[in-house]
Amino acid sequence: MDSCTTTKQQSEPPGDRVGLCASCRFAEIVISSRGSTFYLCTLSEGDPRFPRYPVLPVTSCIGYEQKR
């Protein structure tokens, strides 16, 4: 069983395309030199169940905790 689940929907607004990562305390936004935006899951540093850069949008994740 995967620790994170994704779905692909192209008609959603940009914020909805990120899913849970947009409000997760373990996600860090990484912007490449070409201007692309990625979400780094910091849980991946110590737990191989979590992908370093999950495929977005993440709709379910056992490690999710909302930012304060």
What's the pLDDT tens digit per position in 51-67? 999 999 999 999 999 99
Is the confidence at residue 7, as pLDDT, over 60?
no
Structural domain boundaries in the chain:
4-61
**Is 0.75 topped by the overall pTM?**
yes
Alpha-carbon gap, residue 1 to 68, rounded angstroms: 28
pLDDT of residue 5: 63
